[in-house]
Amino acid sequence: MYIYLDIAAGFQCEMCGSCCRNDWVVTVDAQSFSRNARLFAAAGREQEFAKAFIRICAESSPGEYAYIAKQPAGGCWFLQPDQLCRLHREAGHAHLDSVCRTFPRYPLDTARGLELTLSFSCPAVIRLVSRQQPLAIVRSEQAPLAVMPDSCVAQVYPQQYSDRHPLYYYFELEHHFIDILQCRLMPVQARVNLLFQTVEAIGRLDRQNSLHQDLNRLIYSNYVRMDKVDPAQPPDMADILTEHFLVNFVFKKPFYLCGLQPGARLVQHFCSRINAARSGIIDPAVNWQKTKECIMELEFQYGHNRKALYAGNQ
């Protein structure tokens, strides 16, 4: 089973080269390092290989054996003037490291199947979500995009927890959190506040006897509350882009991978950063542009520089 946000089915790389010029460093594992060493040796280009693939000598995360060097202007070593990848051209897509094969796809191995969404740090994805229609979750036997078997960024199996732990019911909670964030009767900040209050309330529930029933009652009371709110001013496109970003973030399972309270704090932090970026701006076009820039930066930090993100979330 494939479960994905509907934007995944509409994605097409625009070959803008943006992802090949970003600040992140593309790391490769030992297998990829050896594979490229053989490729370059066969062409008599050992000297270029030594410059392009740099061994990581310091302590690193599992799978980070070396990194790909950058050009003086900041682009990837293999980025050509036509925005295409020289390594891709010479060796094919399957030869690339998993990072380059996968981005901006964000696949997850879960108990429900393979789940998939996209990264909002990609300009093509931002253009794809520049719409009023809420993001929708699709279930299908067919994958919307080609995904390599080894490319999943995380595993999500809630039943590894005891049924006395809230994360045992993670998928129910995720569904509810997305419903809260898509409730356009409420301003975006009010939705984020309700999500945070809900997580706090979950933390106070008795885990010993009736956790599932108590969770259901809490969720039901939230729906009643959302149905009764006085309609807010219709959201503008910057609000809707913020909503899409937060929904996409929740679908990436941070509440499972980081924990309920850390996940809620991240959503709050994101909303605060976006509000600050938009502060005092009246022009709708400028408002949307500032929102987009902030969202792309937040997405980049979550995906590639979490130390900076968490430093701002203390």
The string of DSSP codes covering 157-184 is: -GGGS-TTSGGGGHHHHHHHHHHHHT-T
Q: Which of 156, 174, 202 is the last residue of a domain?
A: 156
- Please check the confidence at residue 30 and state whether its pLDDT lies above 90: no
Residue 225 lies in a domain: yes
Range of the domain at 110: 1-25+70-156
Contact (CB, 8 A) for 192 and 249? no
CA-based nearest residue to 137, from 188, 177, 192, 167: 177
Same domain, 167 and 152: no
Number of neighbours of residue 115 by Cβ within 10 angstroms: 25
Integer CA distances (angstroms), 223 to 15, 105, 304, in order: 43, 32, 35
Same domain, 192 and 85: no
Same domain, 128 and 205: no
Q: Which of 103, 132, 156 is the last residue of a domain?
A: 156
Q: Which of 156, 183, 210 is the last residue of a domain?
A: 156
Residue 54 lies in a domain: no
The structure's pTM equals: 0.87
The pLDDT tens digits for 53-88 are 999 887 666 668 888 999 888 888 888 888 888 888
Same domain, 96 and 230: no
Residues in the chain: 314
Contact (CB, 8 A) for 28 and 36? yes
Same domain, 205 and 273: yes
Run of H or E including 140: strand 137-140
The pLDDT tens digits for 271-281 are 999 999 999 99
Contact (CB, 8 A) for 112 and 1? yes
Same domain, 216 and 99: no
Integer CA distances (angstroms), 120 to 69, 105, 154, in order: 24, 10, 18
Residue 80 lies in a domain: yes
Same domain, 147 and 176: no
Query: What residues pair up with 2 in beta bridges, in sequence order?
Result: 114, 140
Same domain, 296 and 202: yes
Residue 203 lies in a domain: yes
Same domain, 152 and 162: no
Residue 314 confidence (pLDDT): 56
Residue 55 lies in a domain: no
Q: Is 301 helix (H, G, I), strand (E, B) or coil?
A: helix
Same domain, 162 and 268: yes
Which of these ranges, 30-34, 252-256, 310-314, has the smallest mean pLDDT?
310-314
Residue 60 lies in a domain: no
Same domain, 97 and 112: yes
The pLDDT tens digits for 172-204 are 999 999 999 999 999 999 999 999 999 999 999
Residue 231 lies in a domain: yes
Average pLDDT, the chain: 90
Number of domains in the chain: 2
Same domain, 149 and 165: no
250: tokens are 């929740």
Residue 58 lies in a domain: no
The DSSP bridge pattern shows strands 105-110 and 27-28 to be unpaired
